[in-house]
Amino acid sequence: MITHPSPLTHLLSIEAIKCVKARYFRAMDTKDWPLLADVFTHDARCDYREAFQSPGATTPAGTDDDILNGRDMIIAYIRKGLLPLISVHHGHMPEIEILADGTATAIWPMNDLLRFHAGPYREMRGYGHYHETYRQEDGRWRIATLKLTRLLIEMTPA
Amino acid sequence: MITHPSPLTHLLSIEAIKCVKARYFRAMDTKDWPLLADVFTHDARCDYREAFQSPGATTPAGTDDDILNGRDMIIAYIRKGLLPLISVHHGHMPEIEILADGTATAIWPMNDLLRFHAGPYREMRGYGHYHETYRQEDGRWRIATLKLTRLLIEMTPA
Amino acid sequence: MITHPSPLTHLLSIEAIKCVKARYFRAMDTKDWPLLADVFTHDARCDYREAFQSPGATTPAGTDDDILNGRDMIIAYIRKGLLPLISVHHGHMPEIEILADGTATAIWPMNDLLRFHAGPYREMRGYGHYHETYRQEDGRWRIATLKLTRLLIEMTPA
């Protein structure tokens, strides 16, 4: 169904989407997995294949294992990755568009810091963009698809 | 008194609160103490006990001296701490809620950088969240309470 | 002409300006020069004299060559500067004011990271504020003037 939201509804949706993304970041960094699950649609899809790789880098690329289908797979993947370390994820000025079909797109610049407790690296600092779509489910805007692209990744040896 | 702000008033309040927090950051980093005083309510309370300590760290925790009651104490504390160094404070995607009683809550992810001119450390980089409440005083939204929690602090020796 | 925008128009303008600035950052970092050109008015003026210098630093200051007049000069300048390196620019909580004459002012805290492929330095990390004015041209808000001031610049030798 094609809808034409009023300018006010448009702004309310944009602010709601900003809050959802803020919760995504806070949930990851405070390891609050129920809160993290709540920001995704049930059938959400995340593509983290570029999460650990600079553009043009010779380090191994992500594989299809870094594409997650469904909220449960997404939470299990993020939980496994972040549980053994300290993480900081920050999102910056987004470009959000509310579309006529009731969905939305967003591009979020981001940077993250992973501090490892063991292994060959002390920390990773990454910089990139999230490319996302949002949809309302159970009365709230939620992340429907997410793809992370990178500008740069810095690895500091232990 | 319980009020029910319109959606438009709701959005105007959220934008006003974002501006207040932006002024808090800019005032600290440009050492503009009158501007900084203006963002707090007269009876504001700040809890900076975790400002200089990573979670679980063995470094000395903050003490009750890091809890400030009233705008004057807050400004004196921040001024004393920041005057001898260069600081950069950045706030990221917030979660703001306007409450029915005319107050608001906010959680702001943040990072800060302190560059020291003397002493055993060259710089501190911190990452965490502000947990705040806001209230209108003299016709403007202002910070009423602030508590800083940390995800990570990095100290670089001189 | 003096106009008095409604509160709703006011908020729509602020969100539009935030999107323009987000495109400015993304265009620079993805080296999308047509997108970058689109965020400026035709007669925009940028002052990047402080872009590469900490306050009080003894390093050479910018010169009048770092003041750009007109969209074409701006894009040529940024393109030449960023093409040979990887850049990351992030904007944080802004203070935006919509003025009665239909223009707007904005202050944006920022940080940037330049990763060099050659030369004496491995990377530059800068922190500061953009001081800007915005104007509507061809039906869209665009950057009319921009001046970058700095809090701190860190240079890492190669």
Per-residue HEC secondary structure of C86-109 comes to EEEEEECCCEEEECCCCCEEEEEE
CB C75 within 8 A of CB C33: yes
More confident residue, C133 or A50: C133
pLDDT value, residue C1: 47
Subunits in contact with chain C (3 or more CB pairs closer than 8 Å)? A, B
Mean pLDDT calculated for residue range A88-105: 96
CA angle in degrees (0–180, nearest 5) for C151-C155-C158: 170
Q: What is the tally of structural domains in chain B? A: 1
Nearest residue in chain B measured CA to CA from A87: B151
CA angle in degrees (0–180, nearest 5) for B26-B28-B30: 65
Q: Which residues of B touch A21 (CB under 8 A)?
A: 93
The reply to whether C114 falls in a domain is: yes
Q: Cβ–Cβ of A152/C88 closer than 8 Å?
A: yes
Please provide the average confidence, as pLDDT, over all residues in chain B: 94
Q: Cβ–Cβ of C19/A95 closer than 8 Å?
A: yes
How would you classify residue C70: left for phi > 0, otherwise alpha for psi between -120 and 50, otherwise beta? Answer: left
The reply to whether C1 falls in a domain is: no
Q: Cβ–Cβ of A11/B11 closer than 8 Å?
A: yes
Q: Which of B8, B11, B92, B131 to mutate to test the interface with A (most CBs of A within 10 A)?
A: B92
The reply to whether B2 falls in a domain is: no
The reply to whether C90 falls in a domain is: yes
**Structure confidence at residue B62 as a pLDDT band (50, 70, 90):** confident
Q: Cβ–Cβ of B93/A88 closer than 8 Å?
A: no
Give the C-alpha separation, B149 to A131, whole Å. 29
Q: Which of A93, A113, A127 to mutate to test the interface with C (most CBs of C within 10 A)?
A: A93
Q: Which of C11, C18, C88, C92 to mutate to test the interface with B (most CBs of B within 10 A)?
A: C92
> Which H or E element spans position B23?
helix B7-29
The reply to whether C14 falls in a domain is: yes
Nearest residue in chain C measured CA to CA from B94: C93
Q: How far is A90 from chain B (nearest CA, A)?
A: 6
Domain that holds residue B110: 7-157
Q: Cβ–Cβ of A109/C15 closer than 8 Å?
A: no
**Structure confidence at residue C54 as a pLDDT band (50, 70, 90):** confident
Q: How far is B152 from chain A (nearest CA, A)?
A: 7
User: What distances in angstroms separate CA B71 from CA B17, B35, B77, C107, one per listed residue?
Assistant: 18, 12, 10, 25
The reply to whether B47 falls in a domain is: yes
Which among B15, B23, B30 has CB closest to C11? B15
The reply to whether A118 falls in a domain is: yes
Q: Cβ–Cβ of A107/C26 closer than 8 Å?
A: yes
CATH number of the domain to which A151 belongs: 3.10.450.50
Q: Cβ–Cβ of A129/C19 closer than 8 Å?
A: no
pLDDT value, residue A72: 98
List, in sequence order, the alpha helices (H) in chain A. Answer: 7-29, 33-37, 71-82
pLDDT value, residue A2: 52
Q: How far is A85 from chain C (nearest CA, A)?
A: 25
pLDDT value, residue C5: 76
Which among B8, B92, B107 has CB closest to A92? B92
Indicate yes or no: pTM above 0.90.
Answer: yes
User: Quick check: ipTM above 0.90?
Assistant: yes
Mean pLDDT calculated for residue range C26-30: 98
pLDDT value, residue C52: 83
pLDDT value, residue A52: 83
The interaxial angle of helices A7-29 and B7-29, nearest 10 deg, is 50
